[in-house]
């Protein structure tokens, strides 16, 4: 993960050659090292890079990744949040923060139910688009429910997700109610394991202005590569993927409402 850094040209104080040589040497130390050793290198670099320099965000991202690899989620979150103001590292930092939130907010046991009267847990806002405030609990036409604001953009999908930390418990089914405000929505559920392998449900059509019940046994999810079923003991996350923009000419903001999540 450090290879790209070996070619950085950094020149703060001293001659450019001196800085380049010093940074290359320190980063070479971290290459292939244990997370604790890499953390020490990144922390030393951070202490020397001025706050206004864009490269500081890159090092903060790698520091967050190293802390995450070491199991220090709180330290990783601090580093990654500090990397967000830097354009060069913003997208990657936000993505890793999303993964950390999946772990922190993960379902701990099954069966699990949530009626969305108080908060949006365990869902995490998709990190590729939008902001965290797109996901909230609000009063809707049928009472309080989870509100997900998303924008229909050409050729783009969107998602929310939650994690599992159920110690190998066998998951047999997942269900929820969904409703779309502006257009009939098209969604798909995706299961992922620790290796990044995914299993997909069939696409679901969500009615506009009326609840649609989505209830799927785990055996309904299949691998997109070979059609094999998922091992229900290995699931680490579930993603609700909004595919609506790929199936309609409508563009602009839409709200997807969600209620009565159940995992068994």
pLDDT of residue 215: 98
And the tokens for 232? 């229900």
Q: Does pLDDT of 25 surpass 80? A: no
- Based on the domain organization, do 34 and 50 belong to the same domain? yes
| Per-residue model confidence as pLDDT tens digits over 8-24 | 434 344 444 444 444 44
- Based on the domain organization, do 132 and 57 belong to the same domain? no
Question: What single string gives the DSSP state of each residue in 39-61?
Answer: HHHHHHHHTTS-TT-THHHHHHH
pLDDT of residue 26: 52
And the tokens for 78? 């601090």
Chain mean pLDDT for the chain: 88
Q: Does pLDDT of 200 surpass 80? A: yes
On whether the pTM is more than 0.85, the answer is no
State the CATH number of the domain containing residue 173: 2.60.120.260
State the CATH number of the domain containing residue 27: 1.25.40.10
Number of domains in the chain: 2
- Based on the domain organization, do 180 and 85 belong to the same domain? no
The whole-number average pLDDT for the span 133-140 is: 94
Residues of the chain above pLDDT 70, percent: 88
- Based on the domain organization, do 68 and 181 belong to the same domain? no
Q: Does pLDDT of 6 surpass 70? A: no
Domain, as residue range, for 224: 112-263
Q: Between β-strands 204-206 and 112-114, what pairing exists: parallel, antiparallel or unpaired?
A: unpaired
The whole-number average pLDDT for the span 162-181 is: 95
pLDDT of residue 45: 86
- Based on the domain organization, do 99 and 116 belong to the same domain? no
End residue of a domain, out of 86, 104, 122: 104
CA atoms within 13 A on the CB side of 129: 14
End residue of a domain, out of 76, 104, 132: 104
Q: Could you write out the three-class secondary structure of 187-217?
A: EEEEEEECCCCEEECCCEEECECCCEEEEEE
CA 243 to chain centre: 17
The whole-number average pLDDT for the span 104-110 is: 95
Question: What confidence tier does 32 reach under pLDDT thresholds 50, 70, 90?
Answer: low
């Amino acid at each position: 993960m450090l290879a790209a850094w070996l070619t950085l040209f950094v020149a703060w104080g001293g001659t450019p050659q001196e800085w380049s040589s010093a940074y290359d040497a320190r980063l070479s130390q971290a290459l292939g090292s244990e997370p604790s050793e890499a953390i020490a290198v990144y922390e030393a670099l951070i202490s020397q890079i001025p706050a206004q320099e864009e490269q500081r965000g890159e090092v903060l991202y790698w520091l967050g990744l190293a802390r995450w690899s070491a199991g220090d989620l709180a330290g990783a979150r601090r580093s990654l949040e500090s990397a967000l103001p830097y354009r060069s590292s913003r997208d990657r930092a936000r993505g890793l923060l999303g993964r950390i939130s999946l772990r922190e907010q993960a379902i701990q046991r099954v069966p699990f139910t949530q009626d969305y009267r108080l908060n949006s847990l365990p869902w995490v806002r998709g990190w590729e688009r939008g902001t965290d405030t797109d996901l909230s609990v609000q009063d809707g036409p049928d009472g309080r429910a989870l509100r997900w604001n998303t924008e229909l953009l050409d050729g783009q999908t969107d998602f929310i997700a939650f994690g599992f930390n159920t110690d190998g418990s066998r998951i047999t089914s997942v269900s929820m109610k969904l409703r779309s405000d502006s257009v009939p929505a098209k969604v798909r559920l995706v299961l992922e394991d620790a290796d990044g392998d995914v299993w997909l449900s069939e696409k679901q059509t969500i009615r506009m202005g009326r609840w649609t019940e989505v209830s799927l046994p785990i055996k309904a999810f299949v691998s997109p590569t070979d059609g094999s079923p998922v091992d229900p003991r290995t699931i680490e996350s579930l993603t609700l993927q909004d595919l609506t923009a790929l199936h309609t000419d409508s563009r602009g903001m839409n709200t997807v409402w969600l209620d009565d999540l159940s995992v068994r």
